[in-house]
Structures are given as C-alpha cells and as structure tokens.
Amino acid sequence: MKLISKLAHVLSTSLVCSTLLLSCDNAETVPLAATSPSSTSEQEDEAAAKLPPYQMVMVFPSGPVPKDLPDVQDAMNVYLKKKINTTIELRPIDFSVWLDKTNLMFLSNEKFDLLFTSSWLYLGQEIAKQQIIPLDDLLHQYGQGITNTLDPTYIENGRVKGSIYGVVTNKEFASTKGIVMRKDIVDKYNIDLSTIRKLEDFEPIWKTIQEKEPGMVPLQVKYDRSPLTVLNGYGKFDMLDSSGGPGVIDRASKELKVINLYETPAYLHDAKIMHNWYQAGYINKDGSTTRQDEFEAVKAGKAFAYSQSIKPGFDTQESRNTGFPMVTVELTKPYTTTGDTTSAMFAVPRTSQNPERAMMFLNLLYRDKYLLNLLDWGIEGKHYVKIADNVIDYPPGESAKTIGYNLNLPWIFGNQLNSYTWATDDPDLWEKYRIFNETADKSIALGFVFNPDKVKNEVIASGNVLLQYAGALNSGEFDPDLILPSFLKALKAAGGNKVIEEKQRQLDAWAASRKQK
C-alpha cells in the first residue's frame, strides 16, 4: 500500500509535458549556416525609425532570473527605439513552470509577441491549438537578415502543414548525449573517464562519490530529465515530432518503421538501471518531483553530475553555469534529426498585436551583433569586458557566481555565430560546430515533419498519460517492472497506437514523395 500511495502522489504532482520526458530538413548534409551582415542600409533603419512606438513582450524559458535583467532591458530599449521605435519586456519563465504559465497566457488571451518554441517544447501542440501564427509573409517582408543568414533548408524545417511557424536559431544542428561531472572531484579521486563506454560504467563512480563526499548527490536528476530521457530521446531514437506521441524510429535501424519507444528493450534496460541507482542512494530523493535545473544543485555544491545533450564547447558552457570546472563523457555519437535542427526557435503568438514588429526585432537578432550580445551577455564593462574583438571575460573581481547578468542562453537567440566567445572557450569553437554538424550521423527520417491534426485528441491524451508517469520513471524511484505495464496500458487506452499508425502513414508518404523527386 505504501508503494501505491507514493506512486499516486508522484503521478498526481508530476507536471512534465510529454515532450520533455524525452529531453530539453530536407537536405542530405547539414552545413553550418554562414554569418549574416551585422547592419543593413541607412534607408532601412530610417524607415524603421519612423514607425509608431510599440511595446513588445518576449517570452522564453530560463533558470533563475538575473538580478540585472532590468538594466539590460533598459539598454536594449534605448537601442531599439532608435532602430525600430520599439521597447521590449524580456520575460524569462523558469523551465519548471513553463507549461503552466504559457498555457495560462494563451487561455487568458494575454498579449505577447515572441515565444520560444522547439521540436521538444510543445511546437506540435501550439500549432494544433492555433496558438502561434504562420510566418511566411512576415519572413518575406521583414526577415531579410534571417533569410540571408540561414541555409534555406533550416528555414524550411520550421514548416508544418504548409506554413513556417518557427524561425530556427543559427547554432549546432546535431547532438550527442552524455554525463556532465565536476572536474575537480574527478581529479581528486583519480577517476579514469576513458574507460566509460555505457551507462552501467558510471556505477563505480557514483559509489566513490557516495562514500567519499557525504552530503553530495552523485547524480542529480529532475522530473523531466535524467539519463533515461536523454539517452532514450534523440540519443538512441529519432522522436519524429514534438507532439507527445510515443512513435519513434530506432537509430540503429535502416527501416522507416515507427515503434513505441516505451516498449523497446533499450528503454526498459535503462529504466532498470535508474531504479537500481535510486535504490542505492546515487540519485537525489526528490528527483520525481523537483523542477530545479540540475546545474543549480551542482552550483550549490550539493551534486556531482547530471545528464545532458552535448556539443562542442559544452564543458566550458557548463563551467560558467555551475561555477565549477566541468568535464563531459559522451555516451552516443553525434546525430542529426529534424528535431535537432528545430531544437531552438521563436514563434509569434496569435495574441501579438503587431506581428510585423516582432519579426523586425527577431530579424535584428540575426544581423545586429551589438543587440545580440547585449541580450546574450549584458552590458560591456559591467557584465563582461572584451579581451579581443570577439572574445570576452568577466570583469575583474567577478565570476559566474557573482555576475549580475548570467542568462547564458546564446543557443536560444538569433545567430549564435555572431555571439562573442569567452576567454575560456576554444578559439576554434565555430569551426568545430561546422565539423560537428557535417560529420554527425543523419537520421533516415531527416526532413520528415509530423502533422498531428488527424490524431490531435489522441496526441493530447497520450501526452496526459506521459505527464502522469514521467517523474516516476525518470527518477528511478519506482520499479519499471511494476509501473511500466500500467503506463503502457494507459497509453494504449489514450490512443497511443493510433498516433503511431498515423506517423507511419505520413512517414511512408514522405518517403514515397522523396523517391519521386
């Protein structure tokens, strides 16, 4: 009875979206897009400056809100008034309450103008619910900086049901999966990371941390992300869409065959590992319900490691996030899916009162280096200092832990290739991004975009089932042999099989159309 009671509590309190349970093009190759010009003609700027004033709201997910966000926003507004006679309210929303707050904004018809979205963060549901608008005409009229920057293939990746709904961030377009650890602790105990090849190989490391670092959790997880979600998301499978349905393609397969992720041996195998680790005390006890980003626990000295998607320069990025030197171990090889190429986008909500101005601002993030870096890193001299033309560092006496503006989300905004790199970054970082993209394995379904319209009720119902069970499975708190049968039964009752069948039908049609070209 105790198990049933505790499980009921977790199922009732888990608020994860189905797509986050798994976290968070039409070309055969995926080249890195070129950097766009940083300015347009004086005539364009003069025309934009004559526009009537407009107050814009930009909504995006984040960790803790930086205390100097108002200062950066003020600086942006001074600049934006001159450029497009616009002021902006930056509204970061904590990842843990993103679904609740954005849903409430849509339900109340709240006015806002730009919304972060992605293949793993509700894009399919936002389109199905008509919460965001098509962008084709706006891109043509006001998005020259975007279209001059992005490879046309990437622009097309935001197209669903014949229309473009999201503008892709220019960044890496592949991913690999692994574990991020505190390097100082790794060095302290002479842990040999070169011997790690698979998830099971971490167990002796967790045991060492548990025994020698009392009070420090070996592996920090959260209700919507753990090695189970990271490896069994785009690590081992192509998820095919962001709708929340269970249908996937096995990365190792050469067939365009849609299967139920949660019925695969790989998923059960890793779910059992997570449960064994939880029982051994290697995982934080609140993993089934906590919404705190894992790096925050490391930053506070309470955790040693967590799982994530990895890319070139990721060690340095997470070192800035945590304030400790970090090191990563990759458990998969780089892989490119349609979902990877659409993993960071901005959309225009239907409640925007001026979609044209929203697109003008978004366009600036691709061509205006000053504005992009102001948003990325804050005010020069206060939040960073330049040590070379495109290289920055913290001001004297400041660090990642003390700086007043540490949003650290360059992968979200605009043209990342225009973003400054840090003194600790690899000077060849952008070149390594290019190589990373070009050498990644390509999904056999690369370019396929699922349209959930015909099964949208089943998609929503399946998502609700996933929402109920996510924390219990991701954290390892419950034995998968006990709860997975109930989960699969509920998923089938919700219409999960119908979603899989519809994905297969559309995938077959997509493959046939490619053969005809």
**pLDDT tier, 128 (very low <50, low <70, confident <90, very high otherwise):** confident
Give the torsion through C-alpha atoms of 400, 404, 409, 415, to 10 deg: -110
Domain-wise residue ranges, the chain: 1-25+176-333+447-517, 42-171+341-442
Q: Tell me how far apart the 2 most distant CA atoms of the chain are, in Å.
A: 73
Q: How confident is the model over 238-284, as pLDDT tens digits?
A: 988 756 578 999 999 989 999 999 999 999 999 999 999 999 999 99
Both tokens of residue 310?
Answer: 């990895």
Which CATH number among 3.50.50.60, 3.30.70.20, 3.40.50.9100, 3.40.190.10 corresponds to the domain 42-171+341-442? Answer: 3.40.190.10
Which range, of 28-32, 358-362, 381-385, averages the lowest pLDDT? 28-32
**pLDDT tier, 232 (very low <50, low <70, confident <90, very high otherwise):** confident
Q: What pLDDT shows up at residue 284? A: 97
- How far is C-alpha 65 from the geometric centre of its chain's CA atoms? 18
Strands 421-422 and 391-393: parallel
Give the torsion through C-alpha atoms of 476, 477, 481, 482, to 10 deg: -160
Asked if 451 contacts 160 with a C-beta cutoff of 8 angstroms, the reply is yes
Question: What is the pTM for the complete model shown?
Answer: 0.72
Name 429's Cβ contacts closer than 8 Å, sequence gap at least 6: 312, 313, 421
Which CATH number among 3.40.50.150, 3.40.50.1110, 3.20.20.540, 3.40.190.10 corresponds to the domain 1-25+176-333+447-517? Answer: 3.40.190.10
Domains 1-25+176-333+447-517 and 42-171+341-442 share a fold: yes
Write the DSSP assignment of 357-392 as a string of letters: HHHHHHHHHHH-HHHHHHHHH--BTTTBEEEETTEE
